[in-house]
């Protein structure tokens, strides 16, 4: 609850050793609340296979995705669970297979847990795995490209027609690709950025990302960054597309920006 990443939390509940009420029962009660858009579970042990099956089925009916962080990958973690709650964590392979069968996504860290819940709160489940990325730095574009390695998501190569469309908004000095490094030739030129972003987002991607690190307010003004945000917002609305603002470090997207971004329909 002390996170500063802008995740709106409706409820926080703890299950203890689940001697009377199990995690799946609690989750079934929470997921019925209209204020709950998605559910995050920190799982030490499964209280009931049938209970989790009921939970997963009801979540699908309500279109409320579930994210789980299941401990017990290591022997030390499994032993800690026994001493902590007197429950058995079980085989990690079996736990992973069970969650996969239920359609519950598994993450391995608290930061990933929070970021996944933020994404699902704003967009709901994405329809596919096709991503686009835009940044004004080649280094950022490379980092984004590498981030998809080993995962189901991908950055599709642009078609010739799509590439030409984007190219027409940037000129001959910019190599057009996905992820896109649009350079700084058009920085703070809102009409030009709107044209480029609109052209790039028109590719029918499942999620469009704009890499944007806000400056420290004690060192410089963020005025120029808002033109970039407005251009991206316009591009998303024109194409009826889903979008996210991505920062290279969490502290470069402070909490004071996140509520406003969500109100604009963008994932922070």
Name the residue with higher pLDDT: 91 or 244. 244
Mean pLDDT (the chain) is 92
Residue 156 burial by CB count (10 A; 0-12/13-18/19+): exposed, middle or buried?
middle
Return the CATH number of 23-123, one of 3.50.50.60, 1.10.10.10, 3.40.50.620, 3.40.50.261. Answer: 3.40.50.261
User: How far is residue 243's CA from residue 268's CA, in Å, rounded to a whole number?
Assistant: 9
Average pLDDT value for residue range 37-45: 94
CATH number given to 131-267: 3.40.50.261
**Token code pair at residue 103:** 């359609």
Banded pLDDT at 65 (limits 50, 70, 90): very high
Q: What is the pTM for the complete model shown?
A: 0.88
pLDDT of residue 69: 95
Residue 60 has pLDDT above 80, yes or no: yes
**Which segment of 11-20, 164-173, 217-226 scores lowest on mean pLDDT?**
11-20
Specify the 3-state DSSP secondary structure of 39.
strand
pLDDT of residue 87: 53
Average pLDDT value for residue range 251-263: 92
| In contact, 168 and 202? CB cutoff 8 Å | no
Q: What is the pLDDT of residues 115-132, one digit of tens each?
A: 999 999 999 999 999 999
Residue in this structure with the two tokens 């469009």, named with its chain if needed = 208
Residue 102 has pLDDT above 90, yes or no: yes
Distance, CA of 126 to chain centre: 10
Domain spans of the chain, in order of start? 23-123, 131-267
Q: What is the pLDDT of residues 231-242, one digit of tens each?
A: 999 999 999 999
pLDDT of residue 78: 53
Average pLDDT value for residue range 147-168: 97
Residue 39 has pLDDT above 70, yes or no: yes
* DSSP assignment letter at 250: G
User: How far is residue 7's CA from residue 67's CA, in Å, rounded to a whole number?
Assistant: 14
Within 8 A by CB and 6+ apart from 262, the residues are 6, 8, 121, 122, 268
pLDDT of residue 80: 58
| In contact, 254 and 214? CB cutoff 8 Å | yes
pLDDT of residue 226: 95
Average pLDDT value for residue range 207-221: 94
Within 8 A by CB and 6+ apart from 183, the residues are 136, 170, 173, 174
pLDDT of residue 90: 61
Name the residue with higher pLDDT: 189 or 72. 189
Q: Could you tell me which of 200, 195, 193 has the C-alpha nearest to residue 177? A: 200
């Amino acid at each position: 609850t002390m996170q500063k990443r802008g995740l709106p939390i409706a409820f926080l509940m703890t299950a203890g050793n689940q001697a009377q009420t199990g995690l799946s029962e609690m989750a079934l009660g929470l997921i019925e609340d209209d204020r709950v858009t998605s559910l995050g579970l920190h799982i030490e042990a499964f209280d009931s296979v049938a209970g989790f099956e009921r939970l997963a089925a009801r979540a699908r009916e309500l279109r409320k995705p579930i994210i789980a962080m299941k401990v017990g990958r290591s022997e030390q973690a499994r032993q800690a669970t026994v001493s902590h709650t007197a429950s058995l964590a079980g085989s990690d392979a079996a736990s992973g297979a069970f969650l996969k069968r239920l359609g519950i996504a598994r993450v391995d860290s608290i930061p990933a847990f929070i970021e996944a819940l933020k994404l699902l709160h704003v967009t709901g489940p994405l329809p596919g795995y096709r991503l686009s990325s835009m940044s004004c730095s080649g280094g950022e574009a490379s980092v984004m490209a590498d981030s998809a390695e080993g995962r189901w998501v991908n950055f599709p190569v642009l078609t010739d027609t799509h590439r030409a469309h984007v190219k027409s908004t940037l000129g001959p000095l910019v190599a057009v690709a996905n992820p896109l490094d649009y350079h700084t030739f058009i920085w703070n030129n809102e009409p030009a950025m709107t044209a480029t972003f609109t052209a790039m987002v028109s590719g029918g991607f499942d999620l469009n990302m704009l890499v944007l690190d806000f400056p420290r307010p004690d060192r410089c003004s963020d005025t120029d960054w808002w033109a970039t945000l407005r251009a991206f917002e316009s591009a998303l609305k024109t194409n009826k597309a889903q979008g996210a603002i991505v920062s290279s470090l969490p502290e470069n997207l402070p909490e004071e920006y996140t509520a406003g971004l969500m109100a604009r329909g963008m994932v922070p």
